[in-house]
Structure 1
Amino acid sequence: MSLFSWLRTKKPGLDGAQLKRMEQLRKPTALGGGSLRDQRWVVLDLETSGLNLNRDQVLSIGAVVIEDGAVDFSQLFERTLQRAETKLSPSVLIHGLGPSAIAAGSDPVEALLDFMEFVGDSPLLAFHAPFDQHMLCRALKDSLGHRLTHTFLDVAEIAPLLCPDVPLREAGLDDWVNHFNLHVGERHHASADALATAELMLILLNRARQQHIDSPQALQERLSQWKRRRQAPSF
Structure 2
Amino acid sequence: MNLFQWLKPPKRAKAPDLTPEQLRRLSELPRPAALNENPLRQQRWVVLDLETSGLNMSRDEVLSIGAVVIEDGAIDFGQPFERTLLRHDHKLSPSVLIHGLGPSAIAAGSEPVEALLDFMEFVGDSPLLAFHAPFDQHMIGRALKESLGYRLQHPFLDVAEIAPMLCPQACLRQAGLDDWTAFFGLQAEERHHASADALVTAELALILFSHARKQAMDSPAQLDQCLAKWRRRQQSHSF
Distance of 2:81 and 2:157 partners within structure 1: 19
Unaligned runs of 5+ in 1: none
The one of 58, 78, 81 aligned to 2:82? 78
Aligned residues: 233
Choose from 198, 205, 225 the match for 1:201: 205
**C-alpha RMSD of matched pairs (Å):** 1.4
By how many angstroms is 1:184 displaced?
2.2
Q: Which residue of 2 aligns with 1:223?
A: 227
Distance, in Å, in 2 between the alignment partners of 1:38 and 1:55 is 38
- Give, as a single letter, the amino acid of the residue that structure 2 aligns with 1:14: L
For the 8 Å contact 1:50–1:88, the answer to whether it is kept is no
Give me the whole-angstrom Cα distance separating, in 2, the residues matched to 1:110 and 1:3.
Answer: 35
- The residue matched to 2:143 in structure 1 has which SS? helix
Aligned to 1:42: 46
**TM-score scaled by length of structure 2:** 0.94
Match of 2:170 in 1: 166
CA positional deviation for 1:72:
0.5
| Shift of residue 9, structure 1, vs aligned partner | 2.6
One-letter identity of the residue aligned with 2:156: F
CA–CA separation in structure 1 for the residues paired with 2:12 and 2:94: 36
Query: Which segment drifts farther, 199-208 or 79-88?
Result: 79-88
1:210 matches 2:210: no
Which letter maps to 2:144? L
Q: What is the CA-CA distance between 1:183 and the residue it aligns to?
A: 1.8
Give the counterpart of 2:36 among 19, 32, 35: 32
Listed as ranges, the matches of 1:115-134 within 5 Å are 115-134=119-138
The partner residue of 1:180 within 177, 180, 184 is 184
Name the counterpart of 2:108: 104
Q: Which amino acid is 2:83 matched to?
A: R
- Cα deviation, residue 220, structure 1: 0.4
Query: Quick check: 1:67 aligned with 2:64?
Result: no
Runs of 4 or more consecutive aligned structure 1 residues displaced over 3 Å after TM superposition: none
Deviation sequence 1:172-199 (CA, Å, 0-9, x none): 0000001111122111100000001000
Shift of 1:233: 5.6
Name the counterpart of 2:146: 142
Structure 2 unmatched ranges of 5 or more: 1-6
For the residue of structure 2 that corresponds to 1:232, the secondary structure is helix
Q: Is contact 2:91–2:103 with CA below 8 Å preserved after alignment?
A: no
Q: 1:234 to 1:114 in 2, by over 3 A?
A: closer
- What is the CA distance between 1:170 and its match in structure 2? 0.4
Q: Tell me which amino acid in the other structure corresponds to 2:55.
A: L
**What is the Cα deviation at residue 77 of structure 1?**
0.3
Give 2:40's aligned amino acid: L
Q: Which amino acid in 2 is paired with 1:61?
A: I
Please state whether the residue corresponding to 1:65 is helix, strand or coil: strand
Q: What TM-score do the two structures reach when normalised by structure 1?
A: 0.96
Could you tell me which amino acid in structure 1 is paired with residue 223 of structure 2? L
Which of 90, 98, 108 aligns to 1:94? It is 98
Question: Deviation of residue 141 (structure 1)?
Answer: 0.8
Q: For residue 154 of structure 1, what is the aligned residue in structure 2?
A: 158
By how many angstroms is 1:169 displaced? 2.0
Q: Distance in 2 between matches of 1:29 and 1:83?
A: 32
Task: Call closer, same or farther: CA 1:142–1:226 in 2, change over 3 Å.
Answer: same
Instruction: Quote the offset at 1:32 in angstroms.
Output: 0.5
Give the letter aligned to residue 199 of structure 1: E
